[in-house]
Each structure stands twice: as C-alpha cells, then as structure tokens.
C-alpha cells in the first residue's frame, strides 16, 4: 500500500506532462489530405478506444479470478476496471461522432466498430448498474457479468462486422506516415499512464471501502 | 442419481407445475402476440411491411417474451424458497442448471411454435421456404438466449430490483444472438433468399451456444455456492 501512494502521483504527473506536450506534437504532424483538421481527433479517439478494450479485458480476467479464488482483491480490480471501461468508453463515444459528423456527414452510423464499442460500453454500464442496485452479495453476479462481457467481445465484433462495416480499419495505423504515428503512440502512452493511475486510485478506494465495511460488520457482531 | 436423471427430474418438476396452471404459457404467449401487434404499427407503412421487418419482429418478440418467462420461472422458485431446497439436495450443480434451462427452453419453443406462424401470416413471411434452417436458427438462438438468461435469472434471485436488472444485463450480452437470428431469418424471408448466408449465421449461433453454455456451467457452481 505504501509504495502505491507514491506511484500514483508519479504516474499522474507523467501523464499530465505527456498530455500537455501532446497538442504540440499533434500540431507538428502533417494534415491528412482529405479530412484536414478533424483527422486530429484520431490522436485521442484511438488511444482511448485501446484503453477501453484493455480495461474490459482486465475486468474480465479479474472477474474470472474472483469466481475461481474469491479473492476480494480481484473483485476490487474488476470493479475499478469496469468503471474505467465506462469512462474511456464515453471519451470514445463522444469523440467518434464528432469526427463522423465531419467525415461521413452524420453523427452516427450503424457501423461495425461503432456498434460493437457501444454494445461493449452498454455491457459494462449494466455491470455498474448491477453493483449499484442489486444490494448485498452482488459481487459474484457481477463477476459472472464481467466474464460474459469479456467472452462476448469477439462475438459482438464478428456479428456486427458481418452485418456492416464502413469504419476505417486497424490497418490504418500501420499505413500511417511516421510523422502521424509518433503523436499517436505518444497519446496512447499518455492514456495508458492515466488509466493505470486512475485504476490504482479506484482500487485503493475500493480497498478502503471494504475495510470500512468489515469494521462495521465487526461492531455489529 | 445420474446426471441426466437429475436434469430430467428438475425439468419435469417445472413442466408439471406449468402444465397444471399453464400460467406462463398463456401469459407469455399473449404477451408475444401483443408485441408483434405493437411492432406492426411501426413497421407497416401503407399496408406493406418494411423489408426484413418480419424477421426483426419475430426475434424481438421472442427476446421480450423470453425475459418475461425467465423472470416468472425464478419468481416461482423464490416465493417458497424452493430453489434453496433444490440447491441443498445432494446433486451436481451443473445438473440443476441444465434442468432449469431445459424447462425454460421448452416453454420458449412452445411460444415460438405459435408466434412464428402468426408472424408468417400477418407479414406474408415465407416460413415454409427453408423449414429446417428456420427451425435450426430458432432452436439455437433460443438455446443461447435461455442459457445466458437462466444463469442470470438464477443468480439474481436474491438480488434487489431483479425484475429490472434481468433485461438490463441480458439484452446487451445477447445482442450477437439477436443479430444472428434476425439476419439469418431475414436471409430466408427475403424476396431473393440467400440460404448460404442463413447457414453462416446458424454456424455462428452454434458456436455462441457452445461457448456460453460452457461458461455458464463453470460459473453456475461458484455463484450459487452459498
């Protein structure tokens, strides 16, 4: 616990510095020939989407560990990661339509990536609703939802992909010119640092909450 | 008792209770038919149904009616705390899960056996064009929906606001099933049917069922443990 209290401020400072530097790097990157200025939202949109999927994976694995071993620590990781999916998912779902309005002329398209990101986001919102409203003993149910949510990602992706696709695909990243790739990686690293800092902070909050609950239970006994 | 014997005992218990009151079959069926009716007001323009509307209406009413049946099945178990009694009996947890699943699945299939012809009749959908493929889509889609639904309904039995939480959890997770079911059925019903597409969606449904049944069997034990 002690080293974590230093780790989080360090991570946050590093992320803050990187986020401060990011606009200058993005400004230095060349304009995309057809989309112009609006393409620059991509440097925030893509990293937050990556963090969102990573966080869903973290939540699913932590939920599976909790189901198998019942360690409260795994549950704390799962609930923190689920909240981060919703937070970073919100960034994705706000920046995406902003870009789409300019590039496609509409705020929303029923495209594969958009729909699967929305479905994934909804699964984790339902996870949080469950934890908030199901009352005592909802941890196990929530863990099952976490596992099912993670297992569902490929199905959602595949089914929506066959249904329809117009979103630029992931090959875009490999085809980027280096001047565009560097700010993207920079942004990804900044979002990752921010994610880890937030996750650790939220886990510490959850640990304190559990301690408090245990202390209450002890008094009542 | 062997595994399948336990499964059959539990499923038979639910079916006997249901056959005496027929509460679930009647209410669920009536509800499904009203859902079809409500949708017809939004998707029938100037007397003609929109393209693919029949497939969508069929699957949405199945999903809605299924949620109703799931909630009520487990509400019955909760009222006199009978699920606890079943869990206390010395049988394997997976057998209990499969037994409940078979009960829900049979009920939903009975409802589908009625509303599919109703949809066919009201929306001029050619349900006899590829009957085996259609039945395959309906059975695998319903199995997946019931597999996830039975697990979640059983887990939520002691939770507060379970009536609201069941659909909230169930619909986002079963979206791949609904997409596969609707697209597969629409490929059969279309003016120019494409049976290869319907078969691809059927394969996806079988795969989904296999993965989610395995997961549910693994999860049911620990979650219902206490």
Domain count, chain A: 1
pLDDT class of A172 with cuts at 50, 70, 90: low
Contact residues, A window 117-176, toward B, CB-based 8 Å cutoff: 119, 122-123, 126, 129-130, 133-135, 137-138, 140-141, 143-145, 147-149, 151-152, 155-156, 158-160, 162-163
Mean pLDDT check: name the lowest of A28-42, A180-194, B97-111.
Answer: A28-42
Of B11, B151, B171, residue with least CA distance to B91:
B11
d(CA A65, CA A158): 26
Tell whether B222 is within 8 A of chain A (Cβ).
yes
Strands (E) located in chain B: 44-45, 48-49
pLDDT at position A213 over 90: no
Distance, in Å, from the CA atom of A124 to the CA atom of B52, rounded to the nearest integer, reads 30
Do residues B202 and B136 make contact, with C-beta atoms less than 8 angstroms apart? yes
pLDDT band at A6 (very low <50, low <70, confident <90, very high): confident
- In the prediction, which pLDDT does B226 show? 54
Q: Which residues contact A113 (CB under 8 A, 6 or more apart)?
A: A165, A167
Between CA A196 and CA B97 the distance in angstroms is: 38
Spatial CA neighbour of A191 closest among A64, A2, A49, A76:
A49
Distance in angstroms (rounded) separating the CA atoms of residues A18 and A187? 8
Cβ neighbors of B215 (< 8 A, separation 6 or more) are: A147, A148, A151
Tell me what the mean pLDDT of segment A38-58 comes to. Answer: 86
Which of A116, A94, A118, A97 lies closest to A107 in space, CA to CA?
A97
CB B115 within 8 A of CB B55: no
The pLDDT of residue B42:
83
Distance from CA of B20 to the nearest CA of A (A): 32
Residue A56: which domain range? 2-220
What is the pLDDT, as a whole number, of residue A124? Answer: 94
* A117-131, A155-169, B39-53: least confidently modelled range: A155-169
The pair of three-digit structure tokens given for residue A97, joined into one six-digit string: 């339509």
Using 50, 70 and 90 to split pLDDT, how confident is the model at A1?
Answer: very low
Burial A3-26 (b: 16+ CB within 10 A, else e): eeeeebeebbebbeebbeebeebb
Range of lowest pLDDT (A57-61, A154-158, A200-204, B150-154)? A154-158
- Say which residue, B225 or A85, is predicted with more confidence: A85
CB < 8 Å to B212, chain A: 148, 151
Contact A152 B173 (CB under 8 A): yes
Q: What is the separation, in whole angstroms, between the first and last Cα of chain A?
A: 28
State which H helix or E strand residue B78 sits in.
helix B53-79
> Are the C-beta atoms of residues A79 and A131 closer than 8 Å to each other?
yes
Read off the pLDDT of each residue in A145-149 and give the average, rounded to a whole number.
91
Q: Which residue is it, tokens 């487990």?
A: B74
Instruction: Give the integer Cα–Cα distance in Å for A139 and A119.
Output: 22
Distance from C-alpha of A55 to C-alpha of A80, rounded to nearest angstrom: 9
pLDDT of residue A80: 94
Whether residue A56 is predicted with pLDDT greater than 60 in this model: the reply is: yes
Strand partners, A32: A36
What does the alpha-carbon distance between residue B201 and residue B177 come to, in Å, rounded to a whole number?
A: 9
Of A137, A145, A155, which is closest to B169 when you measure between CB atoms?
A145
Compute the distance between CA of residue A55 and CA of residue A88 in angstroms, rounded to an integer: 9
Closest chain B C-alpha to A164 CA, distance in angstroms: 11
* Residue pair A67/A147 in contact by the 8 Å Cβ criterion: yes
Low-confidence residues in chain B, pLDDT < 70: 1, 226
Tell me what pLDDT residue A2 has.
Answer: 46
Which residues does residue B49 pair with via DSSP β-bridges, in sequence order? Answer: B44
**b/e B21-49 (16+ beta carbons within 10 angstroms → b):** eeebbeebbebbbebbeebbeebeeeeeb
Q: Give residue A33's pLDDT.
A: 62
The minimum CA-CA distance between A78 and chain B, rounded to whole Å, is 16
CA angle B137, B142, B145 (to 5 degrees): 130
- Are the beta carbons of B172 and A122 separated by less than 8 Å? yes
């Amino acid at each position: 616990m002690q080293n974590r209290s230093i780790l989080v401020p360090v991570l946050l400072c590093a992320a803050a510095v990187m986020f401060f530097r990011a606009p200058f790097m993005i400004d230095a990157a060349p304009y995309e020939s057809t989309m112009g200025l609006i393409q620059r939202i991509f440097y925030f949109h893509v990293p937050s989407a990556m963090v969102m999927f990573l966080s869903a994976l973290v939540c699913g694995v932590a939920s599976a560990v909790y189901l198998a071993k019942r360690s409260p620590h795994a549950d704390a990781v799962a609930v923190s990661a689920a909240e981060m999916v919703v937070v970073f998912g919100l960034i994705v779902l706000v920046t995406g339509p902003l870009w789409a309005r300019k590039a496609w002329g509409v705020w929303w398209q029923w495209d594969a990536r958009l729909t699967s990101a929305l479905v994934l986001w909804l699964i984790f919102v339902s996870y949080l609703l469950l934890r908030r409203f199901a009352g005592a003993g909802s941890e196990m149910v929530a863990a099952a939802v976490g596992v099912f949510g993670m297992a569902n990602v490929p199905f959602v992706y595949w089914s929506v992909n066959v249904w329809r696709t117009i979103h630029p695909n992931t090959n875009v990243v490999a085809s980027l010119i280096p001047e565009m790739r560097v700010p993207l990686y920079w942004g990804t690293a900044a979002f990752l640092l921010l994610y880890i800092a937030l996750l650790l902070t939220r886990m510490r909050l959850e640990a304190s909450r559990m301690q408090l609950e245990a202390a209450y239970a002890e008094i009542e006994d | 008792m062997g595994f399948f014997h336990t499964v059959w005992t539990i499923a038979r218990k639910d079916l006997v209770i249901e056959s005496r009151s027929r509460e679930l079959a009647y209410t669920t069926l009536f509800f499904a038919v009203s859902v079809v009716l409500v949708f017809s007001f939004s998707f029938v323009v100037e007397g003609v149904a929109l393209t693919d509307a029949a497939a969508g209406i069929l699957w949405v009413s199945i999903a809605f009616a299924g949620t109703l049946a799931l909630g009520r099945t487990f509400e019955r178990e909760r009222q006199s705390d009978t699920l606890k009694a079943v869990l206390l009996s010395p049988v394997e947890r997976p057998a209990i899960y499969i037994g409940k699943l078979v009960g829900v699945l049979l009920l939903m299939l009975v409802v589908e056996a009625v509303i599919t012809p109703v949809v066919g009749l009201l929306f001029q959908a050619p349900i006899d064009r590829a009957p085996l493929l259609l039945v395959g889509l309906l059975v695998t889609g319903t199995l997946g929906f019931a597999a996830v639904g039975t697990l979640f309904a059983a887990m939520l039995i002691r939770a507060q606001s379970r009536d609201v939480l069941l659909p909230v959890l169930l619909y986002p997770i079963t979206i791949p099933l609904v997409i596969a079911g609707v697209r597969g059925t629409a490929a059969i019903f279309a003016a120019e049917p494409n049976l290869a597409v319907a078969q691809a969606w059927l394969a996806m449904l079988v795969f989904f069922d296999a993965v989610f049944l395995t997961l549910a069997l693994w999860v049911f034990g620990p979650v219902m443990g206490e």
